[in-house]
Amino acid sequence: MAISRCNGCAHLQEQPEGRVGEIIACPRCSKPVSVHNTMFFIGKLLEKFFEAQREISRLKVKPASEVSTPPPAALPMGVLDEIDLFNTDYLASDMQHGPIHDWFSRKQIKVQANTHGVDTTGFFDEVAVAIGRNLPVLKEVLERIRWAQQKEYSSTTIQLGKKSEEEARAISAFCQQLYDFSFVAKCFHNRQENNIRLILQSVPAIRNFFNGEWLEWFALMSCLQYCKERKKRFSCARNLKITLQNDELYELDVFMLIDGDLPICIECKTGEFRQYIDKYITLRKRLGMKGNNFIMCITGLSDEHARGLTTMYDLTFTNELDLPTQLARVF
């Protein structure tokens, strides 16, 4: 038998052996869940258990003064070197989010982490990276899917007649990827009419992804890849809910804590963003963060426009392509 466990609601269920490797909807909360080989699942469970036991033993022999000091990061470099950032649930744990909780706690800010938000065993991260790296070409596909979803249409058609050969090839490959990863129910390549017809999925997680959540995944993966390349220790979170001392509620799209004390917050916008500027300036001040570390990633924003806004406001503005450059400046 195979097994599935939801990182959102912790529902555990046996599955047919033939479904190993599939992504299914959790029967309890409908979130995407990976189906694992039972022995593989137990092996991973034991790895985490013994790791936790070693950590407990290590803490028992430390002086009290040492134990009270927050850990610099939850993810040791040795572990980071071994895991595939695009296919791991290692980050989706309370332990990994621990340093982030500690950082906010020192500021007397309450935190509610969405551990499932950094689980990359699904395919949201792969598709998001494909979009972010080629948005000018793939933008029309996203817009047509989003428009069809808003109108409650079951399908949409992408015309290729006016595209260059290179653009048409990229769009065709992307649409096929959407089908392969089940982001769409069907994908028809009509060579005679030179178009692609997509039959859409109605699952909320897929709708949210095309409605802008893809940029959060892209920003997260950009940060993780950068940390791995630079051998930085980190904790990460997506959709992090915080409650300030005055009971104001905020949700942070992507939050990274580098080496236990360098915070990076990335707010992602695929549409209008101007009305949010005051909100994020206020939040940055309340978190005690520098403008360089509070990034607004806005799709399609020109480099010149981003530089101008960064000069005007004590925030860092960038687009999806220039995000790695901004991360390099922060690090």
Per-residue pLDDT tens digits for 61-79: 444 444 444 444 455 555 6
Q: Is the pLDDT of residue 102 over 50?
A: yes
Question: When comparing pLDDT for 75 and 215, which is higher?
Answer: 215
CA distances from 129 to 248, 305, 324 (A): 33, 23, 13
How would residue 265 be classed by pLDDT, with cut points 50, 70 and 90?
very high
- Mean pLDDT, to the nearest integer, of 38-44? 67
Q: Is the pLDDT of residue 297 over 90?
A: yes
Mean pLDDT of the region 291-314: 96
Quote the pLDDT of residue 71: 45
For residue 314 the two structure tokens come to: 């004590």
Query: Check: CATH 3.30.1370.30 for 124-205?
Result: yes
Give CA–CA dist 234/97, Å, rounded: 10
More confident residue, 251 or 6: 251
Higher local confidence (pLDDT), 207 or 36: 207
Question: For 175-195, how does the pLDDT look when each residue is reduced to its tens digit (9 = 90+)?
Answer: 999 999 999 999 999 999 999
Per DSSP, helices labelled H in the chain are 38-60, 64-67, 77-82, 94-105, 124-133, 135-150, 165-180, 204-208, 214-230, 277-287, 303-312, 323-330
Stretch 116-144: mean pLDDT, rounded? Answer: 96
Find the range with the poorest average confidence among 13-27, 83-97, 101-115, 252-266.
13-27
**Boundaries of every domain in the chain:** 1-69, 124-205
